[in-house]
Amino acid sequence: MSTNTIAINQSMDRFNDHDSVWLFGYGSLIFKADFPFIEKRPAHILNWARRFWQGSHDHRGTPEAPGRVATLTPDAGAVCAGMAYLISPQVFAHLDYREKNGYLRLSTDIFFEDGGQQEGLFYIAREDNAAFLGQAPELDIAHQINAAHGPSGRNREYLLNLATALRELGAHDAHVFAIEHHLLAMAPG
């Protein structure tokens, strides 16, 4: 069921000789940075849209009842808000392991909300990974999220924490806020 992406990500070594690298987080990395970082700055990337289309059977769900977590889908003109972290390249070994289930590292231009831009990296779960669930009505996504929990906690908390963190950043995300709206109308599963 899982595609182990550790080896693929380790072959993405173009920043290995840098002292530090910018990592753009758009999902749990916004509200749960459980790794050492040098600096963090609110930021956005272009032409990607955040979607709860990736299945999670190892963090926020189980193989029997997978949860849904965020990935990005290409979307011309879209602006995806998040948090950028300046980290040492060694930190990627930890993140590659944590996100081994389908997430690949890609490079992108990162635009800081206080000005300036830098090339950096982000993780994406593409539709060709085994855990990908894809599009569904936001109400159905909310029902699935409400019922799921795994070793990293309740899937519902993941989404609600993300929605809160996006609001604190002053960011609007219609997809996330629609799922949040449905979830808040449901008793926790």
Where along the sequence are the contacts to ligand BEZ (CB under 6 A)?
25-30, 99, 103, 123
Residue number with CB closer to ligand BEZ (111 or 139): 111
Q: Which listed residue (99, 113, 119, 180) is catalytic?
A: 99
User: Which residue has 């550790």 as its token pair?
Assistant: 6
| Count of residues making up the chain | 189
User: Is 86 within 8 Å of 112 (Cβ atoms)?
Assistant: no
Residue number with CB closer to ligand BEZ (40 or 186): 40
Residue number with CB closer to ligand BEZ (165 or 183): 165
Minimum CB separation of residue 187 from ligand BEZ in Å reads 27
What does the DSSP 8-state code read for residue 126? -
Q: Which two tokens stand for residue 125?
A: 């779960």
* For helices 138-147 and 155-168, angle between their N-to-C axes, nearest 10 degrees: 120
What does the DSSP 8-state code read for residue 148? -
Beta-sheet pairing, 149-150 with 67-87: unpaired
Is 99 a catalytic site residue? yes
Residue number with CB closer to ligand BEZ (23 or 183): 23
Give me the helices (H) in the chain, please: 6-10, 28-31, 91-98, 138-147, 155-168, 174-184
- The total of other beta-carbon atoms located within 10 Å of residue 101's CB is 21
Minimum CB separation of residue 67 from ligand BEZ in Å reads 13
Single-letter amino acid code for the residue at 109: D
Catalytic residues: 99
